[in-house]
Structure 1
Amino acid sequence: MTSPGPEQEPPGHEETTDTAPEGPPTGSAAKGRGFVRGDDRLKELLARPGMAQAVAALQTEPLVNPADVLTDNLRAQAQALFDAVGATDVAIFGSVAEGTSQPSSDLDLIAKFPPAFNLFNLIDLTEALGAC
C-alpha cells in the first residue's frame, strides 16, 4: 500500500474552496433555514404599505412624561379594566411611582390575576389599556 503523495488526498478528504459563512446565513439561505437577520426583518416590515409613514409619524411626535397624563380619570378607567378581568392589588411601580419619570419613561404596572387569566386575556387587557 502506498501513502498518498503531495498531489493525492486520501479518499473522502477532498479539499474544497468553499468556506462556511460566519454568523447566521443571509438572503434566501437564511429564509430557507428559519433565520432572518434583524435588519432584513426591519426592511421587510418597512416595505409594507403605510409602515414607513407610520414610523416617520412616531419619530416626529413629542414624547410625553407618563406622570403628566396619569389623571384620576385615566386611573379609574385602568382600574375598571383590571377589575373586569378579576385582577387585584393593581399598583404602579418604577419611575412614575417614585416621581422620577421622564418623557422617555414607561408606565410600570403590577397586579395579581386569577388562575384562569391567560396570555390571550393579557393581550386583550394590554390593548384596552392602550386605548385609554
Structure 2
Amino acid sequence: MLPVEQYVATLARKRVAAGVLFRDARGRVLLAEPSYKPNWEMPGGALEADEVPWAAAVRELAEELGWSGPLGRLLVVDYVRPQDGRPEGVVFVFDGGMLDEVELAAMVFPDGEIRSARSRRSARPVTR
C-alpha cells in the first residue's frame, strides 16, 4: 500500500446529511413527520456514496416531498454528535426559500418515508 493510501485508511469516517430550511410568510419553519421515528425534522437525508450535498438535498426533497423547486444557498454546516447508536456526522443545510399555503398543500409523500409536513413555529430540537 502506498503511504497516501495508508494515511487515508486511518482517517475518521462520518455520516453526512443534507437538509433544507423552508419558511412561510409568518416565519414558521417546515418540518416533516417521518414514518420510521417519532421526532419531526427538517426535510432531507443522508448523502449516497460520491454524492455532493446539494444534489443529495434535491434528491431527498423529490423522494420525500415530491418537490422539485430550486434550492438557495448553503446556510450552515453543522456537526452532529454521536447518538442513539449512530456515529457522529456533518449536516449541510440549504435555503429552500418561502413556501405559501398552496405549495405546502401540493406536497405529496411518494416514498412513504414521510407521513406529513407542516409549518411550525416551535418544535423539539431537530436531531439526526
TM-score range, shorter chain: under 0.3
Instruction: With the length of structure 1 as denominator, give the TM-score of the two structures.
Output: 0.26
- Of structures 1 and 2, the one with the larger relative CO (CA 8 A, separation 6+) is 2
The structure with the larger Rg is 1
TM-score in terms of structure 2 length:
0.26
> Which structure dedicates a bigger proportion of its chain to strand?
2
